[in-house]
Structure formats: C-alpha cells, structure tokens
Amino acid sequence: MNTHPSLPVSLLPGGIVGQEEELVQRISEIYGGISKLTCLKPSMEVNRLFSQLVLLCIPPNPIDCSKLAGEAQAMRGKLIRLCGEAEGLLESHFSSLLSSHGIPLDHLSLFPYYANYVKLSHLEFTILSRHVDRPPSKVAFVGSGPLPLTSIVLAKDHLTAASFHNYDIDPAANAMAARLVLPDPDISKRMVFHTADILQVTHPLREYDVVFLAALVGMDQQEKERVVEHLARYMAAGATLMLRSAHGARGFLYPVVDPATLVGFEVLSVFHPSDEVINSVVIARRLPVPGPCAGDPLVLPTKCSDLAPFNPLLLNHGGLMEELTLEEQAS
Ligand SMILES: C[S@+](CC[C@H](N)C(=O)[O-])C[C@H]1O[C@@H](n2cnc3c(N)ncnc32)[C@H](O)[C@@H]1O
C-alpha cells in the first residue's frame, strides 16, 4: 500500500523503480561472473551462471530494457553477445554429440532446451497460420546455427512439404547442421544450407514465402535495423517475415525488436510468451513498396521493383497489429 500519498508508487522504495534497480543489480552480479569466465563452452560453472541469469530474466517484469541508461545499457549489450556466444557453443557441443548417434534426429531431446524449441516452433507455426491462407512452400531461416532446431521441428511436424533454406555466416556451423540431417532421407532432401552473411544475399531472398530471422542475427538495434532493411529491399512483396524479439527482463538475454522500426513491412502481430519460451514473436508482411529509411532512402534494385501483381499470401488479413501476452491470448 502507498503510505506516502505524495509519491507515485513507482518511486517508492520497493516500487517499480526499486524492483528494476534490484533486478539490474542482480543481473550485473551474474554478468560480473560470466565476464570473468575464460571459456563459454558448456561446463558446470557456465551452466550455473547462465541458468541463474535465465531464471532471473524469465518472470514478467515491467522493465523496458531499451530505456536503460548508460552503464546498464552497455552491460546489457555485452551480456547479449556473451549469451549468443554461449548459445552457439552449446549448440555446437550438442550437434556433435547428436551426430555420433546413427539417426541424430531421433535423439533431439538430448538437447536440454529441445522442449523450448518445440514450443517456440509450434507458436510460430500457429501465428503464421493465422496470417497466411496456405502453407508456405519455400522457407528461409537466417542464422540457423550448428543445431537448426527451428527448421527441423517445422519441417518434421508443421510444414511437412516445405523446403528450408538455412543461412549461416559460419561455415563450421553449416557443416555440423548438414551432418545432423543427412541420415534422414525426407528432411535432408528438403534442407539446404547456404554459407553467407545475410547482408550479402540479394535476389535469392525474393524466392521465399517466409523468412525467419533468428534472435541473434543483429545483436543490437542498429545491426537489427540494417538486417531488416536489407530483407525489406530484397524479399518479395507480400512475403512474410517472422522475427524473434524479447520482452521485459528477457531483453537482457536477446535483442529487443521495436516493431516501429520495421521499415518496409506491415507488422501483423506481436506476441510475448510468459512461460519458459523466452523469445517474443513478431510477424510482418513485406509491403509492396518499402518505405524510406532515415538518412538512407531505400532504392529498390530494378529486379525487385517489378513487384508480383498477385500474391495469395496477401489475402485474408485485417492488417491490425495486436500485442498480446499469453494470458491475453488465452482469455
Ligand atoms: C547460434 S544462433 C542459432 C539459432 C537457433 N539454432 C535457432 O534455430 O533459432 C545464431 C546464428 O546466427 C548466425 N549469424 C549471425 N549473424 C549472421 C549473419 N549476418 N548472416 C548469417 N548468419 C548469421 C551465427 O553464425 C549463429 O550460428
């Protein structure tokens, strides 16, 4: 109860500001421990520190990470990069482990976060299904990594006839990922791996009905905006972009995508899970004519400016942006 009627609740000790300060303090302590580690490969200590961090960031919290000041914002940026590095190393470790099994895809549940990927992929498929009127046949996943679980789960369980083009800048990640799917005749036939920085991929992007963008491609707002602008330039009009973002304290783990910055796209829906699925999901549709970006007018290459006159993916949508939490969605 507010016993100081002259002060708004948020400024009282223990109010929202107090809660935020305490959270940032506790995260800084864990960051201190993580930044002292000499190696982020899976180990007892690495697992202990990152598990503590994740448990701290998962509960709903009113904090808006994009508004953090100076030192806290800088710490958050470094933490996201460390989380990304640790996630890549964890995925590489389990990708190699799984490849030592005859049919790796039969043992995916060995990966400790497999259940989260299953839930996230199901969530993305459900959101996608609400906004397109027929299943996509050609999908791109940008930032697929050594353990391309999203593509695998989508291909096995949801988009069972689609082909998946996985892009990663790291040739070693792609080699591991390709080895993983090779023994599965159906999945290996429908999975292609491209080694490229997505910023260097141009006209092939026009072929995809849906482009998924991994949370860790574009580690800060500026980098993310550069990637989104590039996708807007080359994706087909009417094609769908699925982005991963983060909400509340989860913004200490992954970059936050501000829907207002998605120039060239119509944002259709933003969904913030409140369970153990960490990433928020943003679905957007590539507009027929991308809008200009601040300071850099978006000029479409000639090949992209003869826009598809009809795209069935454009049907069936109100274009209304909704921002829902899991509770709101369920009610
Ligand atoms: C480790 S995560 C993998 C995501 C996860 N496996 C999934 O299915 O959601 C991010 C990956 O993005 C890749 N990446 C980062 N920037 C990229 C870029 N500009 N172009 C292509 N891949 C990129 C990294 O090499 C890394 O393997």
Per-residue pLDDT band at 321 (split at 50, 70, 90)? very low
Residue 3 within a domain: no
Q: Are 187 and 216 in contact (CB under 8 A)?
A: no
Nearest ligand 1 atom to the CA of 218 is 16
- Nearest-CA residue for ligand 1 atom 27 is 145
Which tens digits make up the pLDDT trace of 181-233?
A: 999 999 999 999 999 999 999 999 999 999 999 999 999 999 999 999 999 99
143 CB near ligand 1 (under 6 Å) = yes
Tokens of 97: 């482990």
167 CB near ligand 1 (under 6 Å) = yes
Rounded to two decimals, what is the model's pTM? 0.85
Residue 319 within a domain: no
Sheet with 240-245, strands from edge to edge, namely: 191-195, 163-168, 138-142, 210-213, 240-245, 280-286, 265-272, 322-325
Average pLDDT rounded to a whole number, residues 308-327 = 33
Tokens of 197: 């920085």
Q: Which residue of 82, 92, 168, 225 sits with most ligand 1 atoms within 8 Å of its CB, as the best mutation to test the pocket?
A: 168
252 CB near ligand 1 (under 6 Å) = no
Residue 135 within a domain: yes
Asked whether the predicted pLDDT for residue 111 surpasses 70, the reply is yes
Residue 318 within a domain: no
Q: Which residue of 85, 166, 216 sits with most ligand 1 atoms within 8 Å of its CB, as the best mutation to test the pocket?
A: 216
Q: 104: CA distance to ligand 1 center in Å?
A: 21
Residue 245 within a domain: yes
What interface predicted TM-score (ipTM) does this complex get? 0.95
Mean pLDDT of the chain: 86
- Nearest-CA residue for ligand 1 atom 10 is 143
Per-residue pLDDT band at 16 (split at 50, 70, 90)? low
Q: 168: CA distance to ligand 1 center in Å?
A: 6
AA letter at 221: Q
Residue 308 within a domain: no
Buried b (16+ CB within 10 A) or exposed e, 22-41: ebbeebeebbeebeeeeebe
CATH code assigned at 283:
3.40.50.150
Asked whether the predicted pLDDT for residue 237 surpasses 80, the reply is yes
Find the domain containing 85 and state its range. Answer: 19-290
Radius of gyration of the chain (CA): 21
Residue 328 within a domain: no
Count the domains in the chain.
1
Which tens digits make up the pLDDT trace of 31-72?
A: 999 999 999 999 999 999 999 999 999 998 889 998 898 999
Query: What percent of the chain has a predicted confidence (pLDDT) above 70?
Result: 82
Residue 193 within a domain: yes
- Nearest-CA residue for ligand 1 atom 3 is 145
What's the gap between Cα 285 and its chain centre?
Answer: 16
- Nearest-CA residue for ligand 1 atom 26 is 145
Of residues 19 and 138, more confidently modeled? 138
Q: 88: CA distance to ligand 1 center in Å?
A: 8
Average pLDDT rounded to a whole number, residues 150-154 = 98
